[in-house]
Structure 1
Amino acid sequence: MSQVAKINIYVDATKIVGNPLLPEVYEILKIIRPGWRAESIEPKKFTDGITNLLMGYYEKGKFDEDVILLRIYGEGTEMMIDRNLEKKNVLVLSEAGCCPPLYAEFNNGIAYGFVHGQTLEPDTVRDDRVKRLIAEEMCRMHYVKPEGMEPKPQLFIKLQKFLNIYPDHLDTPEKQKRFVELLPSKDKILEDFSLLKSQLEALNCEIVFSHNDLLLKNIIYSKEKDKVTFIDHEYAMFNYQPHDIANHFCEYAGVDDVDFSRYPGKEYQLDWIRHYLVCWEEINGRPGSGVTDRDVEEMYVKVNKFALASHFFWATWSIIQAKYSKIDFDFLGYGIMKFNEFLACKDEFLSLKLPD
């Protein structure tokens, strides 16, 4: 596995707004690109995100040639994300050709390669060519078999860890009022967790190496290369195969402008799933022509049941963030929406029957 520079530097994200090329940032860049000079470096802010600050750096006039991304972790995110596992994920996926290279790690972030292209939007993700590229790339990632990692699904293990630190109150009167009035009780959340765990584990789904966070901004599309690339592998881990598909479909709703009516209907899902299953058979050395209507329908049922787990996972995650995160985002509001969507879909999706 490739060696990654370990740099004992802390980058203060609050200072980057006024000075994108902080001395400590330049020190990191000098190690990765020794030939770069400070006066020739251009910064570009990509996003504040809802977990990290992402900055890009490149030589003037060479944005199309070489960009180094610095991802500076949000405060408190280590409670939710195993950063050592994340770095291992990037190395494994980079060597498999599924993501850009990891160049360095510093005290509160990482430096890695940049993928040129456009992040997806609610309309572009539905483009016939793009959705097929996504299904194919997901197959490629699901086929990756990292050495030394046990293929054990992490969904409910991770969720249990979230529930162990789920807050019993929030820090301001306004937040606390919404917390009490608009969210299920902790007892009800634990009850639903047990229900989901028992029903979804009983499906005996295949376990694959999954991205687990394929929101639209984590998919880069290059029309010139006819390719999509997945980025931000913070939550990558072994998981149930239909969960990754389900989570992606749930993310059609968006993050900043949430609209759950964008969740794909059955006809769309069946078409998407059929293409995925054909790719999955072929990448495993079997003829794609062997995929049957029953296979597609079975995966459709499993995907929609796991959509409930996706809503539940990110709802729980959001409420914890509402308690601990310093990032300027309405995590509480997002968590409330996610829990409401979980409850709205629960009976319908759990009642779906596998084909005979």
Structure 2
Amino acid sequence: MGEAEDLVKTKEVATQISNVINDKENYLDCLPDEAKEILKSLASKWENVLDPNALEVIPLKGAMTNEVFQIKWQTIEGEMSRKVLVRIYGEGTDIFFDRANEIRTFAFISKNGQGPRLLGRFPHGRLEEFIRARTLSAPDMRDPSISALIASKMKEFHDLDMPGSKNVNLWDRLRNWLNEARRLSSPDEVETFHLETMDKEISLLEKELSETRQRIGFCHNDLQYGNIMLDEVTNSVTIIDYEYASYNPVAYDIANHFSEMAANYHTETPHVLDFSKYPDLEERQRFVQTYLSSSGEQASDSEVQQLLDEVEKYTLASHLLWGLWGIISEHVNKIDFDYEEYAKQRFQEYWSRKSDLFSNDESNVTAGGNGEKALASIANEKSEKSPPISKKLKKLFGLSLFRSKQ
């Protein structure tokens, strides 16, 4: 009798969880009132929408800075449903970028046919055109045909003549984020991540990577798979989300794209990185060859090799930047993601790769006195944390239900 009661209770809890996940009315409450008003006003102008007030709100997974929702309305039978995208900015994320500048970038890219249209704005977010294409998955990044599309589109993006300053932004951004990370971190965190002397690392990197003349372009700076849409009908890709976009060495943007292949943000442990998935030499050569040749001129072997070498070194700048991002986000962002653990992995990869990529003595002067010490320090602080669980479900049902999975 006890076992039967337990089974009934288990089924009841499972039903409750299912209702929480599938109850779309709950998600309507996630939208600010200003966003709802703009959405209803927008839908009232579409003649094929049955009821502008009947919003179906669907959360989209994988975002680590913002909350993103698909909004859908029922339409006249036989006609395609109406959809838009709502992006709600994460708390504290203004530390990372200038929202006004992001909107200007968004509008310019949209005007040039490179991305979705801007449909409306509210105090802490915006409405965007819904692109009827699928977001890439982590394995898609390794597909040679899709990778070639990304390489060509990236070159097209880099060649945009964006109004405003065309100065390299990477080094200022690194120093600004380092200052924020120090300000927000506890003394223990500062010591663990060697933040007190990280400015030396940034200066050494800047010196090493600025010695040769490099291609500068308008870079996305966050080209992970979730920011790339694939239209399988036209076999074309669209790059979305321009929060971090700025002028930078194109080698940095490619390096960052390659480094993102270590991530899969749609697992139970989205913060865990697997750097064995970093593309091998053949994949990198194929990507760079396509990138350089996409504008019509065949690239020489020496051009390909030079860019490949630059890309490999710029992976270090990518690891430093996103390591600092993780430290800051741990303090300011409430999205359910283990930012600190993510930061540790990026810094560990920085220290482990640095000695292989730079051989001279000066560049091997590290924040902890030597790279091995810094690497060991971060590794020793690594804590064994359980996979993140939806905060909403934790609050409703407690943790005991999930312990068996862990």
TM bucket normalised to smaller: 0.7 to 0.9
Q: Does 1:328 align with 2:342?
A: no
Q: 1:21 to 1:336 in 2, by over 3 A?
A: closer
Q: Distance in 2 between matches of 1:163 and 1:312?
A: 9
Distance (Å, rounded) in 2 between the aligned partners of 1:21 and 1:170: 31
Identity within the alignment, %: 31
Equivalent position amino acid for 1:153 in 2: V
Q: Deviations over 1:247-295 (max 9, x none)?
A: 0000001141421111111111011100100014x3xxxxx23x11111
User: Which moved further from structure 2: 308-317 or 112-121?
Assistant: 112-121
Deviation at 1:327, TM superposition (A): 2.2
The 2-side partners of 1:92 and 1:298 are apart by 31
The answer to whether the 8 Å contact 2:85/2:129 transfers is yes
2:239 is aligned with what amino acid? F
Q: 1:246 offset after TM fit, Å?
A: 0.6
Amino acid at match of 1:246: A
Contact residue 115 and residue 240 of structure 2 kept, 8 A: yes
Query: Is it true that 1:347 corresponds to 2:363 in the alignment?
Result: no
The structure with the larger Rg is: 2
Q: Structure 1, residues 193-214: CA drift from partner, whole Å, max 9, x if none?
A: 1111111122321211110000
Tell me which stretches of 4 or more aligned residues in structure 1 moved more than 6 Å. Answer: none
- Relative distance call for 1:40 and 1:168 in structure 2 (3 A) is closer
Tell me if structure 2 keeps the 8 A contact 1:207–1:240: yes
Q: Give the aligned residue type for 1:59.
A: W
Query: In the TM superposition, what is the alpha-carbon distance from 1:245 to its structure 2 partner?
Result: 0.6
What TM-score comes out, normalization by structure 1 length? 0.85
**Once the 2 structures are TM-superposed, how far is the Cα of residue 108 of structure 1 from its aligned partner?**
0.3
Once the two structures are TM-superposed, the CA of residue 143 in structure 1 deviates from its matched residue by 1.0
- Compute the TM-score of the two structures, normalised by the length of structure 2: 0.75
Query: Which sections of structure 1, spanning at least 5 residues, go unmatched?
Result: 1-14, 283-287
- The question of 1:161 aligning with 2:170 is answered no
Corresponding residue of 2:310: 302
Contact kept, 8 Å, 2:28 with 2:57, in 1: the verdict is no
CA distance in 1, matches of 2:28, 2:35: 13
Whether contact under 8 Å (1:98, 1:140) holds in the other structure is no
Select 1:209's aligned residue among 209, 218, 237.
Answer: 218
Aligned to 1:275: 290
2:205 to 184, 190, 196: 196
Distance 1:216 1:58, change over 3 A: same
Indicate if the aligned counterparts of 1:68 and 1:112 stay in contact, CA closer than 8 A. yes
1:240 partner letter: P
What is the CA-CA distance between 1:351 and the residue it aligns to? 4.4
Corresponding residue number in structure 2 for 1:101 = 117
1: CA distance between counterparts of 2:332 and 2:29? 26
Match of 1:244 in 2: 253
Distance 1:91 1:169, change over 3 A: closer
Q: For the aligned residues, what is the CA RMSD?
A: 2.3
Please give the alpha-carbon distance, in whole angstroms, between the structure 1 residues aligned to 2:352 and 2:26.
Answer: 42
If asked which structure has higher relative contact order (CA below 8 Å, sep 6+), I would say 1
